Amino acid sequence: EAELVESGGGLVQPGGSLRLSCTATRFSLRAYWMHWVRQAPGKGLVWVSRINTDGRTRTYADSVGGRFTVSRDNDRNTVYLQMNSLRAEDTAVYYCARVGGSDPGAFDIWGQGTMVTVSS
């Protein structure tokens, strides 16, 4: 069964950086747009970023633009989220998700999530 596996989360101080990874297993990421979505503890889903198949088109939520960078390495079957200048309000579970079909906003496969905690 196709899966996405995130890694790289952890505890970081305000102003610090983290890089999250999302690796696909049992399918090739190459043909898919990929997104990052986050969920603060006890809160709802919030869209963060997306990247197209060749990595040339990237979009960000206003709340992370200028601080986060999404990228991909199709040869490694992995998508990344570089997070800089982290703030307490960035604390959340971060999910990567795949757009699997004709609906550009429908995510058919999600990773298990990786927790990012920003605190001193």
DSSP code of residue 102? S
| Paired sense of beta strands 18-25 and 78-83, if any | antiparallel
The CA distance from 94 to 117, in Å, is 10
In angstroms, give the least distance from the CB of 1 to another protein. Answer: 11
Q: Does 25 bind another protein (CB under 8 A)?
A: no
- Least distance (Å) from another protein to the CB of residue 42? 10
By the 10 Å C-beta count (0-12 exposed, 13-18 middle, 19+ buried), 29 is classed as: buried
Instruction: Supply the DSSP symbol for 40.
Output: -
Contact with another protein (CB under 8 A): which of 35, 80, 86, 94? 35
- Given candidates 12, 20, 37, 116, which one binds another protein under the rule CB under 8 A? 37
Q: Which of 5, 60, 74, 117 binds another protein (CB under 8 A)?
A: 60
User: H-helix or E-strand containing 105?
Assistant: none
Which residues, 87 to 116, sit near another protein by CB under 8 A? 95, 101-108, 110-113
Q: How far apart are CA 71 and CA 81, in angstroms?
A: 7
- Region near another protein per CB under 8 A, out of 14-22, 24-32, 56-64, 80-88: 56-64
Residues within the interface to another protein (CB under 8 A)? 35, 37, 44-47, 49-50, 59-62, 95, 101-108, 110-113
